[in-house]
Amino acid sequence: MSNDDESWLRVKARLRAEVGDDVFSSWFARMDLEQLADGVVRLSVPTRFLKSWIQSHYAERVLACWQAEQEQVGRIELIVRSAVLKTTVQPKPKAELMAASDGARGFGNGINGGNGVGRPMSAGDPGVHEALGGSPLDARLTFDSFVVGRSNTLAQAAARQVAAARRGDPVMFNPLYIHAGVGLGKTHLLQAITWAGNAANERKVLYLTAEKFMYGFVSALRTQTALAFKEALRGIGVLVIDDLQFLQGKSTQAEFCHTLNALIDAGRQVVIASDRPPSELESLDDRVRSRLAGGLVVEMGTLGEELRFEILKARVVSARSHHPSFDVPLPVLAYIAKTVTHNGRDLEGALNRLLAHNKLTGQSVTLEMAEREVRDLIRPQEPKRVKIEDIQRIVARQYNVSRSDLLSSRRTANVVRPRQVAMYLAKTLTLRSLPEIGRRFGGRDHTTVLHAVRKIEGLVGNDMALAEEIEILKRQLQE
Ligand code: ADP
Ligand code: MG
C-alpha cells in the first residue's frame, strides 16, 4: 500500500469519527482516492448526486481531514467515476442482500437500494437511483412472522392485499395509512410489505423512514431536474413511509405533498405508518392531511393477551432455530403474556433476557426465573392514547351540545363552559400544544386555549361538582 493510500485510510477514519457511522456510510463509503499530486487530492464517487451533495455539505470538512494528515494538501477535487471502469454489479443472492441491509447502511445498500442490483431501473439519472435507496430492512420482519389477532386483522389484510397486487392492477386503497401506538407492529407490517413486494419482483417497493425521506429523498429531488425526478418515480411501484409523524419542515412537506400526489395520480401505491391518525398530524398542511385521509386509514389496537401469547410462542420457535436448547415452558409464556402488557418490543425484551440468562448460566427457564428477570418490564397499564376528537365527542354528549357547537364561535354560556372543559381536557390528557389545540377547536388562538385551561384549573379547586364532572369525563376517556 502506498503512503497516499495509507493517508487516505486515516483520513477516512478521521471523517468517520467526526461525522458518525451513519453519515459516513451514507455519503463517504464509496468515495475513492484517485490521485494525490501537487497538493491536489482527487477523489471519486460513483454518482453525480453524491458528488454535488458532498461538495455542498462536506467539502471543507474533507479538506480539513486531509490537511490534518498531510499539511501540503491545498485543494480537493471531486469527480464522478465513470461507470465503464467498474465492472457491473452482479445480482446478489438474497441472503447476502439481507445481510447488507443489516449492517451497512447508506444509499444503495439493502435490498431496495436502487443500485442496479439485479433490477435496473428506467433510464433515469444514476444519481437519482442512488438517492432513492431505501432505509435498512430487518430480515425478520416478514408476513410469516407477523401474528394476526383481533387488533391487527384489518391492517394485516390490507397490507397483504397491497403486497400481492401486480403491476397494472387497479389500486384499491391509496394511500394505505396505518396508525398505532409504539411497539404495536407498524414497522413490522411495512417491512413485510417491502420484502414480499420485492421478492415477487413485480413492482419495486421502496421503504423509507420519514427521516430518510427528509434527508435523502427530498434533497435528491432538489438537485435533480423535474424530468429526472419523474423518471425516478416511474421506477417505484410502491412507496412505503414509516413514522410519518417525524416529517417536519415546510419545504419537506411541500416535497412530500408533491411526491404523494405524483405517485397517487400515476396509480402507484403509497403506504404510510404513523403513531396518530391523519387528522392529528398537526404540522401537516390541510390538503396533505385530507389526501392522506382519503385512502384507507386503519388503526391497530393494543396487543391483547392472546395475541401476546401467540407472538411469544412464535418468537420462541424462531429463537430455537439458532439456540436449539432454549426451551420456554408454556406456563412461563402465559405468565409473560399476562404481565408484560406494554408492547411488542417489551415482549421481545423479556424473551431476550430469558435467553441470555439461560445461555449464560445454563439454567433452564422456569417460572421463578421469569418472575425475577422480567420484573421491571411489568408496568402498570399503559395509559390510553386520548384523541381530541374523543374529548370533543364525550364532552359534547355530557353537556348535551353538539360537537360543532364546541367548534363554533358561539359564546352563549351553555357552550362556553363545555368548550373550556374540553380544551382543558385536551391540554391535560394529550401531548398537544396550545396552538394545536386551538386549531382543533375551530381555529382559535392559543391564548384562548390558555385562558380556558387556567379558568377550569381555577374553578375545580372550589367547585366540587365541576371537579367531579371532570373526573368522570377523564375516566370515560381513559377506560
Ligand atoms: P412499531 O413500529 O409499531 O413501533 P414494531 O413493528 O417495531 O412496532 O414492533 C415492535 C416489536 O414487536 C417488533 O419486534 C415486532 O416484530 C413485534 N410485533 C409487533 N406486533 C407483532 C405481531 N402482530 N406479530 C409478531 N410480532 C409483532
Ligand atoms: Mg416503528
- DSSP type of residue 217: I
For the beta sheet containing 269-274, the strands, ordered from the edge strand earlier in sequence to the opposite edge, are 205-209, 238-242, 269-274, 176-179, 296-299
Does residue 105 fall inside a structural domain? Answer: no
Does residue 97 fall inside a structural domain? Answer: no
* 313 and 450 part of one domain: no
Looking at ligand 1, which atom is closest to the CA of residue 180? 3
Does residue 162 fall inside a structural domain? Answer: yes
Taking the centre of ligand 2 as the mean of its atom positions, its distance from the CA of residue 190, in whole angstroms, is: 9
* 369 and 398 part of one domain: no
CATH number (domain holding residue 48): 3.30.300.180
* 281 and 186 part of one domain: yes
Report residues whose beta carbon is within 6 angstroms of any ligand 1 atom: 141, 145-147, 152, 180, 182-188, 311, 344-345, 348
What is the enclosing helix (H) or strand (E) of 220?
helix 218-223
Does residue 158 fall inside a structural domain? Answer: yes
| Number of H-type helices and E-type strands within the chain | 22, 8
Nearest-CA residue for ligand 1 atom 26 is: 146
Query: Which residues constitute the domain of residue 365?
Result: 305-377
Does residue 311 fall inside a structural domain? Answer: yes
Mutate-to-test residue for ligand 1 from 141, 184, 309, highest number of ligand atoms within 8 A of CB: 184
Number of folded domains in the chain? 4
Nearest-CA residue for ligand 1 atom 17 is: 344
Does residue 145 fall inside a structural domain? Answer: no
Query: What residues have CB less than 8 Å from 419, skipping those under 6 apart?
Result: 405, 406, 441, 452
* 70 and 203 part of one domain: no
Per-residue pLDDT of the chain (479 residues; tens, 9 = 90+): 788 889 999 999 999 998 887 778 777 878 899 899 889 999 998 766 678 778 878 888 999 999 999 989 999 999 887 643 333 333 333 333 332 233 322 223 233 333 333 333 332 333 333 445 677 888 889 999 999 998 999 999 999 999 988 877 878 889 999 999 989 999 999 999 999 988 877 788 889 888 777 776 666 666 666 666 666 667 788 999 999 988 877 777 877 888 888 888 888 899 999 999 998 887 788 888 888 988 899 999 989 889 999 999 999 998 998 888 898 999 899 989 988 876 888 899 899 999 998 988 888 898 888 888 887 777 655 556 789 999 999 999 999 999 999 999 999 989 999 999 999 999 999 888 899 999 999 999 999 999 999 999 999 888 888 988 999 899 888 87
Where is the domain boundary, 239, 273, 299?
299
Q: Which ligand is nearest to the CA of 159?
A: 1
* 247 and 274 part of one domain: yes
CATH number (domain holding residue 250): 3.40.50.300
Mutate-to-test residue for ligand 1 from 153, 182, 188, 340, highest number of ligand atoms within 8 A of CB: 188
* 368 and 407 part of one domain: no
Looking at ligand 1, which atom is closest to the CA of residue 314? 25
CB atoms within 10 A of CB 228: 18
Q: What is the pTM of this model?
A: 0.59
Taking the centre of ligand 2 as the mean of its atom positions, its distance from the CA of residue 243, in whole angstroms, is: 6
Does residue 52 fall inside a structural domain? Answer: yes
Distance, C-alpha 64 to centroid of its chain: 34
* 312 and 295 part of one domain: no
Q: Is the dihedral of CA 167, 169, 175, 181 positive or negative?
A: negative
Taking the centre of ligand 1 as the mean of its atom positions, its distance from the CA of residue 431, in whole angstroms, is: 24
Nearest-CA residue for ligand 1 atom 5 is: 185
Does residue 108 fall inside a structural domain? Answer: no
Instruction: Show the cell assigned to 196.
Output: 414480499
Nearest-CA residue for ligand 1 atom 23 is: 147
* 271 and 158 part of one domain: yes
Taking the centre of ligand 1 as the mean of its atom positions, its distance from the CA of residue 399, in whole angstroms, is: 40
**80 beta partners:** 45
* 213 and 328 part of one domain: no
Looking at ligand 1, which atom is closest to the CA of residue 188? 6
Instruction: Show the cell assigned to 26.
Output: 451514507
* 203 and 286 part of one domain: yes
CATH number (domain holding residue 335): 1.10.8
* 160 and 245 part of one domain: yes
Where is the domain boundary, 358, 377, 396?
377
* 362 and 442 part of one domain: no
**32 beta partners:** 44
Radius of gyration for the alpha carbons in the chain, expressed in angstroms and rounded: 27
Where is the domain boundary, 80, 101, 133?
80
**208 beta partners:** 241
Looking at ligand 1, which atom is closest to the CA of residue 156? 23
